[in-house]
Amino acid sequence: TKRCLERRNGQEGGEKNSAGENVFKYGGFPPKMKFKMPAAVAEIPIFGQSVDHYKKEIDEILSSAKLFIEAVESDLGTYKTQHPALGMLNAKEWFHSLEMHSRHHLNQKVELEALSAHV
């Protein structure tokens, strides 16, 4: 979202790919849709943190997101940047994808909790 608002590392125009079109058409990821994590992100080591750490991180993310709302709402939507799975998105689409992405992870959490109940 920020790169679109700052008009950097993107371009005027561009289209979503077929996955992006479908995700936005249906308002979220299909329940069993799986994405291959981009190599650059997959290489980032993940270390477990405390629940409090993640709660604080979520609060910070939500606070930051709220600051973007006014700028996103007034954005013309012509400048787009590349999403690794969905194609070219403008600021409003990036912002909307944050909610869809979060919802996707909450669904994954439910799946993992269900699996762990059987261990």
**How far apart are the C-alpha atoms of 107 and 101, rounded to whole Å?**
10
Q: How confident is the model at residue 36, as a pLDDT?
A: 72
**How far apart are the C-alpha atoms of 53 and 61, rounded to whole Å?**
12
Q: Which residues contact 5 (CB under 8 A, 6 or more apart)?
A: 68, 71, 72, 75, 91
Q: Is residue 20 part of a domain?
A: yes
**In the predicted model, what is the mean pLDDT of residues 31-37?**
70
Q: What's the whole-model pTM score?
A: 0.69
CA-nearest of 17, 4, 27, 46 to 101 is 27
Q: What is the pLDDT of residues 79-97, one digit of tens each?
A: 999 999 899 999 999 989 9
| Domain of 13, in residue numbers | 2-38+49-116
Q: Is residue 101 part of a domain?
A: yes
Average predicted confidence (pLDDT) for the chain = 88
Q: Is residue 55 part of a domain?
A: yes
Q: Is residue 69 part of a domain?
A: yes
Characterize the bridge pairing of strands 87-90 and 79-83: antiparallel
Task: Tally the domains of the chain.
Answer: 1
Q: Is residue 44 part of a domain?
A: no
Q: Is residue 43 part of a domain?
A: no
